[in-house]
Amino acid sequence: VPGLQIAIDGPSGSGKGTVAKMLAGEVGLPVLDTGLLYRLIGGLALERDIALDDSEALAALVDEMLEQVAWTVNGIAFGGENWTDRLRSEAVGAAASTVAAQQQVRDKLLGLQRKIAESGCIMDGRDVGTVVLPQAQAKFFLNASVRERARRRWAQLKDQGGSSLEAVIEELKMRDQRDRERQHAPLRQAEDGIAIDSTTMRVDDVVDRMLGVLARRG
Ligand code: C5P
């Protein structure tokens, strides 16, 4: 369905990335993980030693990023290089969440996200249904208990060595709180959003429920 826009928002580890990709396969739409845009800015800032509260330097960084970013099925590329894998760490996630609290950064990314969505798209993030695509035909808000979300993150990160489950829970709580309590485009369910709690659900069942909603809406 060209032009169809589906928003999937939720906190870290809610499963929205996996679900968005599977749903995209089912309905034949491209998918954009908007978190990668914020992660790229956070990752570049860390790499270049830019202070995460230096709004002037960050604004320049976002402008540079907008010129050199390419969005591919495999994730995100910057300056011709695929950056996706090196943006997965929780250090980059925390940096992303810090820079994402700045309105200037968000405003600059808004146009790009809307342009990508123009011809139809599934987008996952924090503010897709509330701010980026308020006119999206379907909006889902995916959630799960903090313990289950941390367990999923931990399972993903384990291979890279490092953090204990308890440490991941603490990191996740901090990032959640920052995302929910920030002034600009905080994480919250859209008024017309459909909540799905995935704590005890398999991804296939989450996707089935979404497909059911889409089918009922024609
Ligand atoms: O979803 P992911 O964990 O990759 O997102 C990293 C961070 O980027 C989030 O913690 C959030 O602060 C920010 N973000 C956002 N708005 C979005 C997507 C991500 O503020 N639409």
Reported ipTM: 0.98
Asked if residue 108 belongs to a known ligand binding site, the reply is: no
User: What are the tens digits of pLDDT across the range 166-179?
Assistant: 999 999 999 999 99
Residue 156's pLDDT band, with cuts at 50, 70 and 90, is: confident
pLDDT beyond 90 at 153: no
Mean pLDDT estimate for the chain:
94
Please give the number of the atom of ligand 1 that sits closest to the Cα of 98. Answer: 12
Residues 13-35 have a mean pLDDT of 95
Task: State pLDDT tens for residues 207-217.
Answer: 999 999 999 98
Residue 155 is predicted with a pLDDT of 86
pLDDT of residue 107: 97
Mean pLDDT over 12-40 rounds to 95
Q: How confident is the model at residue 36 (pLDDT cuts 50, 70, 90)?
A: very high
Report how far residue 180's alpha carbon sits from residue 12's, in angstroms, rounded to the nearest whole number. Answer: 11
At 2 the pLDDT is 60
Residue 36 CA to ligand 1 centre (angstroms):
8
From 58, 85, 90, 97, give the residue whose CB has the most ligand 1 atoms within 8 Å, as the site to mutate.
Answer: 97
Secondary-structure breakdown of the chain: helix, strand, coil percentages, each rounded to the nearest 5: 55, 15, 30
Any residues with Cβ below 6 Å from ligand 1, and which? 12, 34-35, 38-39, 93, 96-97, 100, 125-128, 175, 179
Residue with tokens 């995460």: 52
- N residues, the chain: 218
Q: Is 16 labelled a binding residue?
A: yes
* Alpha-carbon separation of residue 195 from 10, 128, 140, 142 (angstroms): 9, 14, 6, 6
Query: Residues 9-28: what's their mean pLDDT?
Result: 95
| CATH annotation of 5-204 | 3.40.50.300
Segment among 1-10, 119-128, 186-195 with least mean pLDDT: 1-10
The percentage of residues in the chain with a pLDDT greater than 90, rounded to a whole number, is 88
The closest residue, in CA terms, to atom 20 on ligand 1 is 100
**pLDDT at residue 3 in the model:** 86
Residue 18, annotated ligand binder? Answer: yes
Give residue 9 CA to ligand 1 midpoint distance, Å.
10
CA torsion through residues 211, 195, 10, 168, sign: negative
Encode pLDDT of 73-117 as tens digits. 778 999 999 999 999 988 999 999 999 999 999 999 999 999 999
